[in-house]
Amino acid sequence: MIRTGDPIMKIRDVTRTFQVSLGMFRGRRPLHALRGITLDIPKGQVMGLVGESGCGKSTLAQILLGLDRPTGGEILFEDRPIADYGRKVFGSRIQPIFQDPYSSLNPRKTVRQLIEMPLVVHGNRDSADRERRVRRMLDLMGMPSRVIDAYPAQMSGGQRQRIAIARALVTEPDVVICDEPTSALDVSVQAQVLNLLMDLRAEFNLTYLFISHDLGVVEHISDRVAVMYLGQIVEEADAETLFRAPAHPYTKALLASILVPDPHRGPPSVPLKAVQPDPMNLPPGCVFHPRCAEAVAACAVTVPEEVTRHGHRARCTMGLPAA
Amino acid sequence: MGSTEPLLTVRDLSVSITVPAGILAAVRSVSFTLDRGETLGIVGESGCGKSMMSMAIMGLLPPHVAVRAETLRFEGMDLLGLPERRMADLRGDRMAMIFQEPMTALNPLLTIGEQLTETYRRHRTAGRREAREKALHLLDRVGIASPERRLGQYPHQLSGGLRQRVMIAMALMCDPDLIIADEPTTALDVTIQAQILALLAELQRESGAAMIFVSHDLGVISRVADKVSVMYAGSEVEGGSTAQVFGAPAHPYTQGLFRCLPNSGLVARGAPLGSIPGVVPSLIGQVSGCMFRPRCALARDACLEAIPTAVVGDGHRARCVAVAAASATATAPQLEVSAP
C-alpha cells in the first residue's frame, strides 16, 4: 500500500519517438516527442504539468493512460510495471478527464449510459448496482438526478464537464489524468469545476496529474509542478518554490507571461527570443538555448545535466539559484 | 467632420436574430464612443454578445440578423445607412479586424503574400511591387524573420503564433483608423500571447489607430485597454476606465468574475474559488429587468423592473439596482477580499 505523499506512479526515463512521414518518396524522420521523462507522482496530491503546445505533455498523458506505448523507459504503478497489470485493471485505476466536453461525450448516449459505460466495460453486470453508482456520482457532482436521462446536447459546457468527471470517477480510480479540464469553460464555470475537483480530491484521496497551459490555474490547484520543454522536464519543484523562485529561464519566461489583472501595467515583456522550436530538428547543446535570454556560449555546446536540491530540480547550465 | 466628434460613436446598438423559438436579442442597447489612439476592452463570457457587437460594427453580419442603432457613426459616416459597396470599401481599409482563429480566417489556398497584397491592391490603386514592399515592411514590423521567404508560403506552413502575426500585418496593410481584435490571442501559448499583446500595443501607439479589444480574459483586458465595458447577456452591466473597473468593480457580476479568478490575489492558493451559481439565461423572447438577477446574491424585487444606471465615479457606471441604491446613500459596495 502506498502512503499519501509517496509516489503512486513512477515514470522512469520514458521516451517516445514518432516516425514522421515527410511526404511521398521522401522517407521518414524521427520526431522525439518525449526524451527521457522521469517523474514521481505523489499519492493524494496534485502534480501540475505545464509547457507550450507541442512540448509532449499530451503524449505523456496518453502513455500514462495506456493509450500509447513508450518507445523506451518504464512506468511503475504502485511499484509494479504497468505491463504487469491487465489492461482493464489498470484502466479502472487510472482515468482521464479531457479538455473538450463537447467532443469527449458521445452525443447519442444519455447521461446514464455515459457514466455507467466504464462500469460495463469493467464487467459490472448488476444493473441496479450500476444505477446506484451513477446516481451517487450525479449527487457528488451537484447535479439533480433528473438529468440521468438527458443527452449532452441538452447541457451547458460546465454540466458536460461534470458528466465527464463523473464518468472518470465512477470506477473509483486512484489517479486521474486531467488534460486541460477547464480550458474550454468560461471563467465562472471554470471556478465551479476547479472547486469540485478539489473537493473530490480531498474526499477520495485522489491523485491528479493536472495538465494545463493556464499557469494561474496550475498555481492555484497544484502541490507540485513540472515544466516541460521539447520533450523533457526542465524544472520540477513544489508549487510554492516554483512560482516564487524559478530556476530555469524557460520557467521564468512562463511566469512572466501570466497576466494577473492589473490596469496599471501594460503587456509584460517576456524574456524569450522569438525562435520557433522545431522538435524534428533539435538544436545542439541545451535545446532551449536559441530562445534563452540568459544563454552563454557554453549553452550552445554542452547538454546541461539535471541538478537537484531539496526536491527542486532543473536542467540548466546555470544550475539552481543559491539557496 | 467636426474636430470634437469621436472616431466611432455607438448609441443604443441592438442586434437580434430570428430563430425558430422566437427573437434572440444578442446585443441590447449598447452605447460607447471611441477616440483615435484609444483602446476599448470588451469583456464577458460566451454568449454575452461581445463578438456579435464587433461583427455588427464591421457590417459583417448576414442579412437575416437585424442590426439597429440610434447612432452608428464612424469618421462622420452613418454606417447603417451606407450601401454594402461603400462598407466593403471601408472594411480592410479604414477599419480592420483581427480574428481569434488565424487558421480559419486565412485562406489556405493563397500564399501569405497574395493575401497581404490583395487587401492593399483592392483599396489602393497600387502596383504589385508597391504592395509587396508594404507587405515585407509589415511582416518585418510584426517580428517575422526572413519575410521574403514567408511571402511565398501557405498558412499551414506557419505556426499558430506566426499566423496570428500575419493576421495582424494584414489588418495593418492600409493603416486603418479602427482595429477590432476579437480574442486575438486566445488560441496561442501564454508566452506568445504576451508577445503579441506587446506588439499590438506598440503598433497601435505608433499608428494612433483606435482599437476595440474583445476578450473573455480579464488579465488580458486589464493590460491593453484604456476603458472597459463588461457585458452580460447582451448588455453592458459595467463600464468605465480600466483603472476604475479593475480598481473598484461595482457590479455584482464583475465582482463575481474577479472572485472566480485563481490568480487575482483575492483567493489563497488551494482555497475554494468564488463562483457564480447558475447559468447564463436564454436571450430568446421578451426580457425585462436585470438579466443577472437569477444568479445575483443582491437580487431584490426592483430588479424585475427597468434597471437604473448608477454612476459610481467620473465615467464609471454600473447598471444595477443595488449599486444605485447604495450610491444614493454614498457607500458603494466594496469587493470583498475573502471567498464567499
- Average pLDDT, stretch A258-265? 90
Report the C-alpha dihedral over residues A103, A108, A114, A117, rounded to 10 degrees: -110
What is d(CA A156, CA A158) in angstroms, rounded to the nearest whole number? 5
Name the strands in the sheet holding B95-98, side by side, starting at the edge strand that comes first in the sequence: B95-98, B178-182, B210-215, B39-43, B227-232, B235-241, B316-319, B309-313
Measured between CA atoms, how close is A269 to chain B, in angstroms? Answer: 7
Q: How many CB atoms lie within 10 A of CB B239?
A: 25
Residues A144-188: pLDDT tens digits?
Answer: 888 999 999 888 888 899 999 999 999 999 999 999 998 878 888
Phi and psi at residue A175, to the nearest 5°: -125, 135
- In degrees, rounded to 5, the angle at the alpha carbon of residue A186 between the alpha carbons of residues A111 and A221 is 90
C-alpha cell at B81: 445607412
Tell if the CB–CB gap between B222 and A191 is shorter than 8 Å: no
Compute the nearest-CA separation of A137 from chain B (Å): 20
Mutate to test the interface with A, among B260, B276, B316 (most CBs of A within 10 A): B260
Could you give phi then psi for residue B331, rounded to 5 degrees?
-130, 95
Q: For residue B193, which residues of chain A lie inside 8 Å, CB to CB?
A: 257, 259
Q: What is the pTM of this model?
A: 0.88
How would you write the pLDDT of chain B (340 residues) with one tens digit per residue? 445 789 999 999 999 999 888 899 999 999 999 999 999 999 998 889 998 999 999 999 998 899 999 999 999 999 999 999 999 999 999 999 998 877 788 999 999 999 999 989 989 888 899 999 999 999 988 888 889 999 999 998 888 888 888 999 999 999 999 999 999 888 788 888 898 899 899 989 999 999 999 999 999 999 999 999 999 999 999 999 999 999 999 999 999 999 999 877 778 888 899 888 877 888 888 778 899 999 999 999 999 998 999 999 999 999 999 999 988 776 545 554 443 3
Considering only alpha carbons, which residue of chain A is nearest residue B196?
A267
Distance, CA of A303 to CA of A3 (rounded, Å): 36
Residue contact B201–A221, C-beta within 8 A: no
**Residue A93 in contact with residue A77, Cβ under 8 Å?**
yes
Nearest CA in chain A to B241: A263
ipTM of the complex: 0.84
- A267-A273-A275 Cα angle (round to 5): 120
- Note the helical H segments in chain A: 57-64, 87-93, 111-121, 127-140, 157-169, 187-204, 215-221, 239-244, 249-256
Give dist(CA A9, CA A208) in Å, integer.
11
The DSSP line for B255-289 is: HHHHHH-TTSSSS-TTSPPP---S-PPP-BS---S
From chain B, pick out residues whose CB is under 8 angstroms from the CB of A142: none
Question: For residue A137, what is its C-alpha cell?
Answer: 456520482
Give A100→chain B minimum CA distance, Å: 14
When CB atoms are compared, the residue of A187, A213, A261 closest to B189 is A213
pLDDT digits (tens, 9 = 90+) for A277-317: 778 888 999 999 999 999 999 999 999 999 999 999 999 98
CA-nearest residue to B202 within chain A is: A267
Cα–Cα distance, A244 to A278 (Å, whole number):
30
**Residue in the structure block whose three cell numbers are 505491463:** A83
Tell me how far apart the alpha carbons of residues B25 and B204 are, in angstroms, rounded to a whole number: 33
Residue whose C-alpha is closest to residue B191's, from A55, A269, A235:
A269
The reply to whether residue B275 touches residue A188, judged by beta carbons under 8 angstroms, is yes
Tell me which residue of B121, B16, B8 sits closest to B72, measured CA to CA: B8
Amino acid letter, residue B212:
I
Q: What is the DSSP string of A19-62?
A: EEE-STTS-EEEEEEEEEEEEEEETTSEEEEE--TTSSHHHHHH
Half-sphere exposure of A248 (CA within 13 A, CB side): 31
For A280, B68, B77, B232, B319, the CA distances from B50, given in Å and listed in that order, are 40, 16, 23, 9, 17
Q: Which three cell numbers stand for residue A100?
A: 473538450
Using CB atoms, pick whichever of A187, A194, A215 lies closest to residue B257: A187
B222: nearest CB among A221, A253, A262? A262
Residue type, position B80, single letter = L
Nearest CB to B189 within list A52, A187, A262: A52
Asked if the Cβ–Cβ distance from A264 to B194 is below 8 Å, we say no
The x, y and z cell numbers of residue B17, run together, are 436574430
Q: What is the DSSP letter of A309?
A: E
Residue B96 phi, psi (nearest 5): -135, 155
Shortest Cα distance, chain A CAs vs residue B114, angstroms: 24
CA distances in angstroms from B182 to A252, B187, B213, listed in the order given: 28, 11, 6
Instruction: Give, as one character, the DSSP assignment of residue A147.
Output: G
Are B197 and A265 an interchain contact pair (Cβ–Cβ within 8 Å)?
no
Distance from CA of A184 to the nearest CA of B (A): 10
The pLDDT value recorded for residue A323 is: 60
CA dihedral B248, B242, B270, A308 (to 10 degrees): -140
Task: Give the separation between CA A274 and CA A289, rounded to whole angstroms.
Answer: 12
Nearest residue of A to residue B165, measured between CA atoms: A274
* Interchain CB distance below 8 Å, B191 and A270: yes
Q: Which residues of A touch B103 (CB under 8 A)?
A: none
* pLDDT at B338 (0 to 100): 40
Q: Which of A143, A156, A185, A187 to mutate to test the interface with B (most CBs of B within 10 A)?
A: A187
Residues of B in contact with A246 (CB under 8 A): none
Which chain B residues are within 8 Å of A53, Cβ to Cβ? 160, 189
Inter-chain touch A188–B201, beta carbons under 8 Å: no
